[in-house]
Structure 1
């Protein structure tokens, strides 16, 4: 895989750390800013909403920009949002910084997804995306648990400062490693033509399926801390351990997806989907057994990201003919799920299920995704489109 692809993954690592780190910080943020944990969960949803809005908007605005300049600009805005967030004493201001950071993240990722597939042969898109998304999974293995531990030791604000600091070498990597492209150098289809791809039923079905799977992933993972310190009876310092396990599973899952999603996407969904549903149900049932719960967290990370990585790749295949907007379609679809998932999961915290409620909600969302998969079988099993 080309070196610039790995440099893009470094930036995705910084952004992935920010996107997922709240799973281990919500209780501390809620206590510091005097809001309920469920209300603090809106920070995750605000980030996801910013990603949904920002993916197509930023991709459309930056479609004729030099790639390196656009990526660098988005990354610097992302850095600035974290500095403001670290200094904030208002939940409303913090909520706003999450939205702005998400807009920048969405713009970066939409451009990076398109740039990544342009660096490789058409039938190696899945491999390229696996390298890029490895930045996210490594964020979960190292960045998120490290941020959670840093938050436990020095407070949640220290984690925001750490993310801002990591953005600096990432920005240097983008500046040094991503080839410059003169604005408008490679003319593509008109924006109206690219947006017209959204009228394809198969593309919409795959996007919906990805949204449901990601809603389950974010719904359950956002509220892991209350499950671990509640029904499981573990100390607060076990939260980073659980996040390491989830991240390690995620890395394995996205790596497997990179090898299978180009040729066998239907098999990944047909096998991984039911297994993912069974694991969410098992996690809810065995939440009071710490060893079983931690083992399931590892498997849930692998299955969630194997399916998610496969669906991102499939969206790009189905959006063939929209070279500058395809990445934004994948980003927006998955972040609709990331926005809806924590909101749905938060409503279950006050139910009879208590802290287990988000796990039950994730199981329901995966079951819904499996029903959608029955409608999208053709989109998942047809041969990849070649440019």
Structure 2
């Protein structure tokens, strides 16, 4: 893999840390800014909304720029948003910086996915995508706990400064290592037309459902472990680390397998994912089962998710930038809707144990969508199949 991809993964690591680190900083944020805990929690929601809106929008706005310029610009905005967040004493300003940072993050990731596909050798798009997304999984393993530790020792602002500083080497690397004209794009109209392909739309919907299943359970993994499994609060970080390690392993496995055998990865991995979530719902009271399934489901979720992203980029070869933006938006739609579905089950009196069952339902829905897409492709004939 080109060295530039690993430098882009460093920036994705910083951005992934920023996206998830607030979960350990909310109480300190609320106390310091004089707002309620739910108000502080809305900072996470603001980031998710910014990611959903920002991915296709910023990708479209940057369609006339070289990839180097687009990556440098969005990463600079992301860095400055964290500097402003670290300095402000206003909740409203901090909320605004989270939205701006999310917009920049979404734009960067959209262009970075397209750049990864452009820089990769033929037939290695899946491996290139896995290399880039490895930054996100490492953020789950190391960045988020590290941010929480910095916040505990030096205050929540230290975590914001750390994210900003970690962007500096990536920013310099983008300026020096990413070719200015790597994979120049076509016009916006051409890219928008390419996005109407049924195969691409089906893959994006599958990505949203699978990622929704992932974040449905991941969001409530801590209370599930303490209230159902009976783990002590001190062991929850171990459980989260196991999920993160599994996700890293899954992304790496997908990088090695998804280019040569994408359908077996999606079909076999998807079936195992469905069975795993159903088993999790049944075996949640067992500590060994919970620990093992956290690792396994993290690996399967990210292996299938990374493969779907690679397939989305492949399905929209005529819209490399907007395909990356739409893939980013689809994943974040899942990341927003999955926790909502899990929360609805909890609020409905089903309890935390029902959450993995909801995840299983979302994966089952993905199989229904896949089956419908295959049936439609068979009815439209081989010519339409070649076009999509």
TM over 0.5: yes
Which range is displaced more, 46-55 or 17-26? Answer: 17-26
C-alpha contact (below 8 Å) 1:42/1:342 kept by paired residues: no
Shift of 1:193: 1.3
Shift of 1:290: 3.1
1:354 to 351, 354, 369: 351
1:249 maps to 246
Distance in 2, Cα, partners of 1:40 & 1:295: 33
2:328 maps to 331
Distance in 2, Cα, partners of 1:17 & 1:333: 20
Gapped regions of structure 2 (runs ≥ 5): none
2:308 maps to 311
1:240 aligned to 2:252? no
Aligned length: 381
Shift of 1:203: 1.0
Mapping of 1:21-170 within 5 angstroms? 21-25=21-25, 35=36, 42-86=42-86, 93-170=93-170
Shift of 1:41: 5.6
1:299 maps to 296
C-alpha contact (below 8 Å) 2:195/2:319 kept by paired residues: no
Q: Which one has a larger percent helix, Structure 1 or Structure 2? A: 2
SS at match of 1:321: coil
Shift of 1:327: 1.3
1:208 to 202, 205, 209: 205
Shift of 1:254: 0.8
Shift of 1:91: 5.8
C-alpha contact (below 8 Å) 2:86/2:158 kept by paired residues: yes
Shift of 1:317: 0.9
C-alpha contact (below 8 Å) 1:14/1:170 kept by paired residues: no
Which range is displaced more, 102-111 or 339-348? Answer: 339-348
1:276 maps to 273
C-alpha contact (below 8 Å) 1:5/1:116 kept by paired residues: yes
Distance in 1, Cα, partners of 2:19 & 2:331: 13
Distance in 1, Cα, partners of 2:198 & 2:296: 32
Shift of 1:30: 6.6
Normalised to the residue count of structure 1, the TM-score between the two structures is 0.87
Shift of 1:21: 2.8
- Structure 1 pair 347/337, CA: closer, same or farther in 2 (3 Å)? same
Shift of 1:161: 3.0
